[in-house]
Copies of this chain bind each other. A is one copy, B any other.
């Protein structure tokens, strides 16, 4: 005991302390899931889409119009949002309407906005 970490000779932290921190960390897989989750919000196009959908249920082409982007670009990003269950959709004839999967999404966005406004 009283073994220090290997990196620095100084006893900043004992080995059992380092171990204790490791114990308290969420499991590896959860950490990956978490960063993957935040990654989705890490693209401005997707964030814009989410804000549009927080206002109304909107079809793909209307999103493209509002954001002044191509239908293809929007569709690709909607696929990401869909795959990660952030949005849901409903078909009405040729049109597909998208909306937020749940209110949780808005909470996350709001929380983020609050942070950057400091």
Query: What secondary structure prevails in chain A residues at the interface with B?
Result: helix
A8–B62 Cα gap in the complex (Å)? 8
**Is residue A18 contacting chain B, with contact meaning CB distance below 8 A?**
yes
How many monomers of this chain does the complex have?
Answer: 2
Q: Known contacts being A5-B62, A22-B66, A64-B7, is A104 close to B115, with CB within 8 Å? A: yes
Check A41/B44 contact, CB under 8 A, given A13-B58, A62-B13, A95-B10.
no
Interface 1/0 per residue, A15-54 and B, CB below 8 Å: 0011011101110001111111111111110111001100
Q: Is B55 a contact of A24 with CB atoms below 8 Å?
A: yes
Check B31 against A48 for contact (C-beta < 8 Å). Answer: yes
A34 in complex: contacting residue of B13, B17, B104, B116, CB < 8 Å: B116
